Amino acid sequence: MSILVLAEHDNETLASATFNTVAAASQLSGDIEILVAGSGTSGVAEAAARIPGVAKVLNADSAEYGNDIAENIAPLIVQLAPNYSHVLAAATTFGKNVMPRASALLDVQQVSEITSVESDDTFIRPIYAGNAMATVQSTDAIKMVTVRMTSFEAVADEGGSASIEAVSATGDVGLSAFVSQEVSVSDRPELTTARIVISGGRGMKSGDNFPLIESVADKLNAAVGASRAAVDAGYVSNDFQVGQTGKVVAPDLYIAVGISGAIQHLAGMKDSKVIVAINNDEEAPIFQVADYGLVADLFDAVPALDAELG
């Protein structure tokens, strides 16, 4: 049996999450096929076909798939799934939205956000914000799985030459209508794939102070993130949120500025290679996970860091 990977894309570009998901799929036994569901996706399908180790790309190119509407994409997965042993998607807001809908229609208990493949039916996944790791075995005939991107190193994007097959569309079920998408525009790297991330917490005191860390971010070519406390306080929008209920990041360097280190935040960044914490409270739990801690007022330390980096 083969493994079906649901591609993540914006109808133009294949998103990096797809490469991490294929990496997880490659640890299972079976050929890997990629499903591209979208509108005007020939370029995305071609990019998917260039991934080494992919046997086939299924291109479901139709208007009703163009806006990531779960009610329209789930029936497509349901129609294809019986031909596969596994269906995998990234644990992004796209995968988290679509996969459980398809799983319920298939009468399958999905396994969410795996961090390790132990065997074809056994996976490790974090529970309780990563304070415990559960090893779980699926007994369903089809394994429906979402994959934590940061736990699987992306596969190469060139070298393969899979065939591309058109898939007939399942139609618009007419439940949800797309109105608009407000995409946060930034010249900085994307939070989940950046090599360096600098995040601000409640200690930033105001959204007006975020330019302090943005200046450092620009010198390091880093992405900017935030704790839930900073998002709740309205300093920045939710797509900056790193943590249990936001994004999970694992960069080479994570700099936490004015972040106390609540369990919910640590869940989103504690797999970073090197962690730096800057906080004026030496008792802050963030120092327990930091490789380098600086006990200082961030309003002195961050400008000093900015100057030191030239």
Partner 1 sequence: MKVLVPVKRVIDANIKVRVKADNSGVETNNVKMAMNPFCEIAVEEAVRMKEAGTAEEVIAVTAGPTQCQESLRTALAMGADRAIMIETDEVLEPLGVAKLLKAVVDNEGPGLVIMGKQAIDGDNNQTGQMLSALLGWSQGAFVSKIETAGDNLNIVREVDAGLQSLTLKMPAVVTVDLRLNEPRYASLPNIMKAKKKPMDMTTPADLGVDVSPRVNVISVNEPPAREAGVIVPDVATLVDKLRNEAKVIS
Question: Scanning residues 27 to 86, which ones bind partner 1 (CB under 8 A)?
Answer: 67-71, 74
Rounded Cα distance between 215 and 28, Å, is 43
Per-residue CA distances from 110 to 83, 128, 155, 261, 265 (Å): 17, 17, 24, 30, 25
Instruction: Kindly state whether residue 283 participates in binding partner 1, applying the rule CB under 8 A.
Output: no
236 near partner 1 (CB under 8 A)? no
Residues 23, 19: Cα–Cα separation, whole Å? 6
CB count, 10 Å around CB of 161? 9
The window from 19-27, 155-163, 177-185, 201-209 that contacts partner 1 (CB under 8 A) reads 177-185
- Find the shortest distance in angstroms from Cβ 4 to partner 1: 18
CA distance 298 to 41: 46
Tokens of 178: 């797309």
Q: Which residues contact 88 (CB under 8 A, 6 or more apart)?
A: 3, 4, 5, 6, 21, 24, 25, 145, 146, 147
Site string for partner 1, 91-120 (x = CB under 8 A): -xxx-xx-xxxxxxx-xxxxxxx-------
Q: Which residue has the tokens 């306080």?
A: 233
CB of 148 to partner 1, least distance (A): 11
What φ, ψ does residue 18 adopt, rounded to 5°?
Answer: -60, -40
User: Any contact of residue 193 with partner 1 (CB under 8 A)?
Assistant: no
Residue nearer to partner 1 on the CB measure, 163 or 219? 219
Q: Does 274 bind partner 1 (CB under 8 A)?
A: yes
Question: Are the CB atoms for 205 and 234 separated by under 8 Å?
Answer: no
**Whole-number minimum distance, CB 192 to partner 1, in Å?**
7
Give the nearer residue to partner 1 in terms of CB position, either 130 or 258: 130
Q: Token digits for 271?
A: 């797999």
User: Restricting to residues 214-233, which ones interact with partner 1 according to CB under 8 A?
Assistant: 220, 228, 231-232
> Among 31, 172, 214, 239, which residue interacts with partner 1 (rule: CB under 8 A)?
239
Which one-letter amino acid corresponds to residue 216? V
User: According to the binding rule CB under 8 A, does residue 135 interact with partner 1?
Assistant: yes
Of 31, 46, 120, 140, which lies in the binding site for partner 1, with binding defined by CB under 8 A? Answer: 140
- In the complex, minimum distance from the CB of residue 178 to partner 1, in angstroms, rounded to a whole number: 6
Q: How many CA atoms lie within 13 A of 30 on its CB side?
A: 22
**Nearest CB to partner 1, comparing residues 49 and 262:** 262
Under rule CB under 8 A, which residues in 289-308 are in contact with partner 1?
A: 289-296, 301, 304-305, 308
Q: Of 38-46, 79-87, 159-167, 270-278, which segment contacts partner 1 by CB under 8 A?
A: 270-278
Among 55, 154, 164, 263, binds partner 1 (CB under 8 A): 263
Token pair of 159 as six digits: 């070298």
9 binds partner 1 (CB under 8 A): no
Q: Between residue 147 and residue 166, which ones bind partner 1 under the rule CB under 8 A?
A: none
Residue from 7, 35, 270, 284 binding partner 1 (CB under 8 A): 270
**Distance (Å, rounded) from C-alpha 294 to C-alpha 46?**
48
Identify which of residues 160 and 268 has a Cβ nearer to partner 1 in the complex: 268
The H-or-E segment that residue 299 falls in is helix 298-308
Distance CA 171, CA 219 (A): 48
| Interface with partner 1, residue 275, by CB under 8 A | yes
